[in-house]
A and B are shown apart, each in its own frame.
Chain A
Amino acid sequence: MNRKEMKLEEIMSALQGVIPTIVATSSADHIPNVTYISQVYYVDEGHVALSYQFFNKTIRNVRENPLLVAIVTSPLDYKLYKLKLLYRESQTSGEIFENMEIQLEALAHVKRKEGIFKLRAADIYEVLSIEEI
Chain B
Amino acid sequence: MSSLEIEKLMSQLVESNRKMEIFRKVSFELNKLISLPEKLDKILAILDEQFGLANTVIFIPDHSAKVLTVFASHGYDEKMIGRCVPFGQGLPGLAALRKKPINLTGIRRKQHYLATVGHEDELSLVKPVGLEDAESQVAIPLISNDELVAVLMAESRNLCFYDKADENFLITLAQPLAVSIQNSVLYDSMEERIRERTAELRRLNTTKDKLFSIISHDLRGPVTSFQGLTRLFSHYNKSGEYGKVENLCTKVDQAADNLTHLLENLLDWSLSQTNGIACVFENIPLGEFLLNNLKIYQTNLLAKEIGVQVSVEPGIFVHADRHTLATVFRNVVSNSIKFTPRGGSIFISAAANGDKIGIDLKDNGVGIDCQKLPALFQLHGQRATCGTEKEKGTGIGLLLVKEFTELNRGHISIESEPGTGTQVRLEFRGGTHRCPSL
Contact = CB atoms under 8 A, between A and B. Distances in A.
Contact of A108 (B95, B114, B139): B114
Interface of B: 89-91, 93-95, 98, 100, 102, 104-107, 109-111, 113-114, 117-118, 120, 123-126, 128, 137, 139, 159-160, 163-164
Given A102-B98, A107-B110, A110-B125, A116 B89 contact: no
A17 B126 contact: no
Given A102-B98, A107-B114, A117-B118, A13 B125 contact: no
Given A17-B110, A116-B120, A109 B159 contact: no
A107 B136 CA distance: 10
* Chain B contact residues, majority secondary structure: mixed
A18 interface: yes
Contacts of A94: none
A99 interface: yes
Given A102-B98, A116-B118, A110 B126 contact: yes
B102 A16 contact: no
A31 interface: no
B113 A109 contact: no
Interface of A: 12-13, 16-20, 36, 38-39, 53-54, 56, 75-76, 98-99, 102-103, 105-112, 115-117
A107 B90 CA distance: 8
Contact of B113 (A12, A38, A102, A115): A38
A107 B107 contact: yes
A111 B126 contact: yes
- Which 7 pairs, one residue from A and one from B, show the smallest C-beta to C-beta distance? A116-B118, A18-B106, A18-B160, A75-B160, A109-B90, A111-B124, A16-B105
A112 B117 CA distance: 15
A11 to B, nearest CB: 12
Contacts of A56: 117
